């Protein structure tokens, strides 16, 4: 079985994309990082720069979002990109208090929460105190790639040394205080060669984890063979994904399941196929304004979480990529009325339309590959055909899930 046999997978898409209330605001508190992961998409220069976002920049943007009535009823502020914990707890305490107070006064219908994604190496008692004080409103994510042989393959410090023990110390500190956290892990060829060690490492920590998610990452860095893939790797990735599904099922039946977001979300997407109310996942993922980003300098981007202005820098002729503008120079309302945003909306709509018309996996695609299409076509097309990322991230994963479901004659709605 593959996705082409699922009813209703090729779906029409018409019109242009509409602006959405902002559900997630990703703030780059600092671009500085205390370690030196070889697959990081931030430049070496930015990771060495001890920048700090002035709190007034974040408050200005949130204030203008409230003023334009563009905050969703559930609104999350995320600190990511750079290592957030290189700034002191007092910085985040002040930011959380100020943003919460601003929303309470001017948008009392909005529920505000906060997320921090950290490499875990700096977590100590002071940080645990901070997380405990804000436990009602803050979610914590730790980046860890598994046991030492996998984690230290790419997550190293500036001396080229291991960071595993420091990350483990941080997670152990959280465990000792009963502080739950999410984990994001990067999957590489090294992971695929030893999936059992990878999965069992996190399974042993399942009591501490609120959620677990893995990303299959490809690096543009020359010589990073363990981080690259090609269309010809589809079968290998499908076998890896299938092993993950089978392992997850084994543990579930034993009563010791590890929550794996990749598994649950894929099964949920498949379960919606053919329903009259089935959502368009691809349109949801890159809906304009749904996720808004601001870097330390005040540059504002949208469509994807954590998008940098260097991505597709020359696409719109201003050298600022998909940036809508800089909040220090341009009001948000003015950004939203710009010709640039209008053109961007058209580009994304055409990309979605092409996928909806031509791809059998459209109904289950989580989206997020429009920029890859442009890059694959030298940045000139927004309606290019499938990419290697589509094949590896979506098609191989979906086919593995369908094989998993079919192998035991399971109903597609069993895991909803």
Tokens of 335: 């950004």
Q: pLDDT tens, 217-245?
A: 876 555 577 888 888 999 999 999 999 99
Tokens of 347: 């580009």
Residues 6 or more apart in contact with residue 176 via CB below 8 angstroms: none
Cα torsion 115, 47, 147, 185 to 10°: value is 40
Bridge partners (DSSP) of residue 115 are 78, 139
pLDDT in tens, the chain (416 residues): 445 444 333 333 334 467 889 999 999 999 999 999 999 888 888 888 999 999 999 999 999 999 999 999 999 999 999 999 999 999 999 999 999 999 999 999 999 999 999 999 999 999 999 999 999 999 999 999 999 999 999 999 999 999 999 999 999 999 999 999 999 999 999 999 999 999 999 999 999 999 999 999 876 555 577 888 888 999 999 999 999 999 999 999 999 999 999 999 999 999 988 887 776 676 676 678 888 999 999 999 887 665 667 777 778 888 888 889 999 999 999 999 999 998 888 888 888 888 888 889 988 988 766 555 555 554 445 555 678 888 999 999 999 999 999 986 654 445 54
**CA dist 89 → 133, 227, 298 (Å):** 11, 34, 22
| Beta-sheet strands, E only, within 135-174 | 138-143
Kind of pairing between the strands at 138-143 and 111-118: parallel
In Å, the largest CA–CA distance within the chain is 59
Nearest Cα residue to 283 out of 392, 365, 387: 365
Calpha distance 280→283 (Å, rounded): 5
Is residue 392 within 8 Å of residue 233, measured between CB atoms? Answer: yes
Domain boundaries, the chain: 1-9+19-416
For 413, other C-beta atoms within 10 Å of its C-beta total 12
If you count DSSP H runs as helices and E runs as strands, how many of each does the chain have, helices first? 16, 9
Please provide the CATH number assigned to the domain covering 1-9+19-416: 3.20.20.70
Q: pLDDT tens, 197-222?
A: 999 999 999 999 999 999 998 765 55
In which region does residue 311 sit, left (phi positive, over 0), alpha (psi from -120 to 50) or beta (all else)? Answer: beta
Q: What angle do CA 57, 72, 92 make, to 5 degrees?
A: 40
Nearest Cα residue to 368 out of 303, 324, 313, 316: 303
Alpha helix ranges (H) inside 220-338: 234-254, 261-272, 281-285, 332-336
């Amino acid at each position: 079985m593959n996705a082409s046999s699922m009813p209703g997978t090729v779906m029409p898409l018409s019109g242009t994309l509409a602006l959405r209330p902002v559900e997630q605001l990703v703030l780059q508190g600092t671009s500085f990082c205390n370690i030196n992961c070889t697959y990081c998409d931030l430049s070496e220069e930015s990771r060495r720069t001890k920048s700090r976002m002035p709190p007034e920049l974040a408050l200005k943007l949130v204030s203008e979002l409230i003023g334009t009535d563009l905050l969703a009823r559930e609104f999350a502020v995320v600190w990511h990109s750079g290592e957030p914990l290189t700034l002191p707890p007092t910085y985040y305490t002040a930011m959380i208090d100020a943003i919460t107070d601003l929303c309470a006064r001017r948008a009392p219908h909005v529920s505000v929460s906060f997320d921090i994604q950290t490499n875990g190496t700096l977590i100590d008692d002071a940080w645990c105190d901070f997380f405990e004080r804000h436990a009602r409103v803050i979610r914590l994510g730790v980046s860890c790639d598994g046991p030492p042989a996998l984690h230290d393959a790419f997550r190293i410090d500036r001396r080229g040394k291991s960071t595993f023990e420091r990350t483990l110390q941080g997670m152990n500190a959280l465990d000792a205080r009963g502080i739950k956290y999410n984990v994001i892990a990067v999957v590489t060829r090294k992971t695929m060669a030893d999936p059992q060690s990878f999965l069992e490492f996190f399974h042993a920590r399942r009591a501490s984890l609120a959620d677990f998610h893995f990303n299959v990452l490809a690096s543009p860095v020359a010589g990073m063979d363990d981080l690259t893939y090609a269309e010809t790797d589809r079968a290998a990735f499908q076998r890896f994904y299938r092993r993950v599904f089978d392992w997850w099922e084994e543990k579930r039946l034993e009563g010791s399941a590890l929550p794996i977001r990749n598994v649950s979300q894929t099964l949920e997407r498949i379960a919606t196929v053919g329903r009259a109310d089935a959502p368009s996942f691809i349109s949801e993922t890159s809906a304009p304004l749904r996720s808004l980003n601001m870097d330390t300098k005040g540059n504002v981007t949208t469509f994807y979480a954590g998008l940098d202005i260097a991505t597709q820098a020359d696409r719109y002729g201003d050298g600022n990529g998909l940036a809508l503008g800089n909040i220090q120079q341009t009001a948000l309302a003015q950004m939203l009325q710009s010709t640039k945003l209008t053109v961007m909306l058209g580009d994304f709509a055409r990309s979605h339309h092409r996928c909806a018309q031509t791809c059998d996996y459209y109904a289950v695609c989580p989206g997020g590959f429009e920029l890859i299409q442009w890059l694959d076509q030298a940045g000139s097309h927004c309606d290019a055909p499938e990419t290697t990322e589509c094949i590896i991230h979506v098609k191989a994963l979906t086919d593995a899930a369908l094989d998993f479901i079919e192998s035991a004659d399971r109903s597609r709605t069993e895991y909803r």
